[in-house]
């Protein structure tokens, strides 16, 4: 055996060799990669199931019965095609004279808007009533079963495909019947609440983060504060609701009800249970998260950037304002928006703070009673009737779209800031 050959032999399986391990190392790497892929697939499946179940409820066939067949009013039952005069005629023919008189006293029929007339004909003449709703899956794939069921149970009913999310759903307020109910007050409530949350939590959070990260000495007290901010971020949201109830609704009632500012007492009797209280409670909830996020963003600003500021004779504030903040701002912003979009979906703390359960009026100011989308969804889901579950799903879609647009806005803004930072 030549020297070279024996070296090759020990090289291949001798004790000093590195190579024989390689196959094993690669195999273990592949196993881990497969596990990671599986985890990702599981996450995607769960997400898909969630979306599917919502969409399944938000669209589908609806069986409706009526008192007066629309086909007798207009050809093909399409009352949109009727002229204003014909609509008035339809009302006059079909309504009781007492009802006609009281409507006329409110506002003569001839002077009413077309949309108003259409709504009156739908509600009072035709009198649609939902007798059965079907899920999207049933509607698409089990049509035969649906038809059989309908023939047996509701031979009179008319079967129509309905998108529970529609323009009317967005424009209408809460109602006792699902088909008439909408999310308008809840949507306005959510937007106003979140505006208050952002307007208070964002500046306070950033200011606190600047102080903690840039100014506070690294002593016992400040470490204690920092650790506790981290802990606060993990406190269950319902506890914040109780805090909000104690502080904003009870102790600060003169302020949160608007009485201290001479605002006219809310006719609905909101007392402290106002949009202002709700917004401030959510601000408490997101504040720790915003602070932690901003602190991390400031910490990520390289020391060399700060030093180059100090080296030309800048004060600490000038370095923070001109260099640290702009460099960290995109991260601060993304962190804030992620925190806020979580807050949009919060239900528990607002229930504690006293969200209204049945609000048919839009809030007029921050001192009004409030309800929000998640509260509305929660209530509708809790009802036994099928059609309320359908509008709950529709409201969830509205909420998701709201959150997604907020996140998309955050991403666009961040990319803009990044691009500016790079090419300034």
Task: Tell me which residues touch another protein (CB under 8 A).
Answer: 218, 304-315, 318, 322-323, 327, 421-424
For the bound state, the minimum distance from the C-beta of residue 187 to another protein, rounded and expressed in Å, comes to: 40
* Apex 168 CA angle, 266 and 91, nearest 5: 95
The helix-helix angle for 275-299 and 184-210 (nearest 10°) equals 40
Order of all β-strands in the sheet with 129-133: 129-133, 59-65, 158-163
Nearer to another protein, 166 or 315 (CB): 315
Nearer to another protein, 80 or 219 (CB): 219
C-beta of residue 318 within 8 angstroms of C-beta of residue 331? no
For the bound state, the minimum distance from the C-beta of residue 335 to another protein, rounded and expressed in Å, comes to: 20
Nearer to another protein, 13 or 422 (CB): 422
For the bound state, the minimum distance from the C-beta of residue 414 to another protein, rounded and expressed in Å, comes to: 16
Give a three-class secondary structure readout of 54-122: HHHHHEEEEEEECCCCHHHHCHHHCHHHCCHHHHHHHHHHHCCHHHHHHHHHHCCHHHCCHHHHHHHHH
For the bound state, the minimum distance from the C-beta of residue 202 to another protein, rounded and expressed in Å, comes to: 24
For the bound state, the minimum distance from the C-beta of residue 224 to another protein, rounded and expressed in Å, comes to: 18
For the bound state, the minimum distance from the C-beta of residue 304 to another protein, rounded and expressed in Å, comes to: 4
Rounded Cα gap, residues 60 and 40, in angstroms: 31
Q: Which residues partner with 64 through β-bridges?
A: 130, 158
C-beta of residue 109 within 8 angstroms of C-beta of residue 363? no
Tell me if residue 130 falls in helix, strand or coil: strand
CB neighbours of residue 292 within 10 Å: 20
For the bound state, the minimum distance from the C-beta of residue 293 to another protein, rounded and expressed in Å, comes to: 21
Nearer to another protein, 200 or 295 (CB): 295
For the bound state, the minimum distance from the C-beta of residue 318 to another protein, rounded and expressed in Å, comes to: 5
Nearer to another protein, 36 or 310 (CB): 310
CA 99 to chain centre: 41
C-beta of residue 103 within 8 angstroms of C-beta of residue 109? yes
- DSSP letter for 263, please: P
**Can you spell out the DSSP letters for 285-332?**
HHHHHHHHHHHHHHHTS-HHHHHHHHHTT--HHHHIIIIIHHHHHHHH
Nearer to another protein, 168 or 420 (CB): 420
For the bound state, the minimum distance from the C-beta of residue 336 to another protein, rounded and expressed in Å, comes to: 22
Rounded Cα gap, residues 94 and 105, in angstroms: 18
Residues found in the chain: 424
CA proximity to 159, closest of 145, 174, 180, 173: 145
Tell me if residue 159 falls in helix, strand or coil: strand
Nearer to another protein, 310 or 358 (CB): 310
Alpha-carbon distances of 111 from 85, 97, 114, 119, rounded to whole Å: 11, 18, 9, 15
Nearer to another protein, 149 or 321 (CB): 321
Joined together, the tokens standing for residue 172 give 């209408």
For the bound state, the minimum distance from the C-beta of residue 295 to another protein, rounded and expressed in Å, comes to: 16
Nearer to another protein, 172 or 327 (CB): 327
CA proximity to 130, closest of 107, 106, 158: 158
Nearer to another protein, 269 or 313 (CB): 313
For the bound state, the minimum distance from the C-beta of residue 302 to another protein, rounded and expressed in Å, comes to: 8
Nearer to another protein, 96 or 217 (CB): 217
């Amino acid at each position: 055996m030549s020297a070279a050959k024996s070296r090759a032999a020990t090289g291949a399986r001798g004790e000093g060799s590195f190579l024989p391990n390689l196959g094993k190392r690669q195999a273990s790497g592949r196993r881990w990669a497969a596990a990671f892929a599986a985890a990702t697939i599981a996450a995607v499946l769960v997400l898909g199931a969630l979306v599917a179940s919502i969409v399944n409820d938000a669209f589908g066939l609806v069986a409706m019965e009526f008192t007066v067949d629309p086909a007798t009013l207009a050809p093909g039952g399409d009352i949109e095609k009727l002229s204003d005069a014909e609509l008035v005629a339809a009302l006059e023919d079909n309504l009781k004279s007492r009802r006609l008189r009281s409507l006329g006293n409110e506002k003569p029929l001839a002077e009413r808007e077309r949309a108003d007339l259409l709504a009156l004909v739908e509600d009072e003449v035709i009198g649609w009533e939902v007798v059965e709703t079907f899920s999207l899956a049933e509607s698409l794939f089990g049509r035969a079963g649906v038809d059989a069921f309908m023939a047996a149970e509701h031979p009179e009913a008319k079967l129509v495909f309905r998108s529970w999310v529609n323009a009317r759903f967005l424009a209408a307020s809460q109602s006792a019947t699902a088909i008439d109910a909408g999310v308008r007050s809840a949507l306005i409530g959510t937007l106003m609440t979140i505006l208050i949350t952002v307007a208070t939590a964002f500046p306070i959070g950033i200011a606190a983060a600047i102080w903690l990260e840039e100014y506070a000495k690294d002593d016992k007290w400040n470490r204690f504060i920092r650790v506790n901010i981290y802990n606060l971020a993990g406190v269950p949201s319902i506890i914040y609701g109780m805090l909000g109830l104690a502080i904003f609704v009870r102790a600060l009632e003169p302020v949160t009800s608007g009485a201290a500012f001479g605002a006219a007492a809310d006719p609905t009797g909101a007392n402290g249970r106002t949009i202002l209280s709700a917004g401030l409670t959510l601000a408490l909830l997101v504040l720790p998260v915003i602070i932690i996020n901003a602190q991390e963003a400031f910490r990520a600003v390289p020391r060399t950037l700060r030093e180059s500021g100090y080296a030309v004779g800048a004060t600490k504030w000038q370095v923070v304002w001109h260099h640290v903040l702009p460099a960290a701002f995109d991260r601060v912003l993304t962190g804030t928006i992620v925190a806020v979009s979580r807050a949009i979906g919060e239900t528990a703390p607002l229930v504690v703070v006293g969200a209204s359960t049945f609000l048919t009026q839009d809030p007029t100011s921050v001192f009004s009673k409030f309800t929000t989308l998640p509260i509305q969804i929660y209530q509708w889901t809790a009802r036994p009737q099928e059609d309320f579950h359908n509008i709950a799903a529709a409201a969830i879609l509205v909420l998701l779209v709201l959150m997604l647009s907020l996140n998309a806005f955050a991403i666009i803004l961040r990319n803009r800031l990044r691009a500016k930072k790079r090419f300034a």
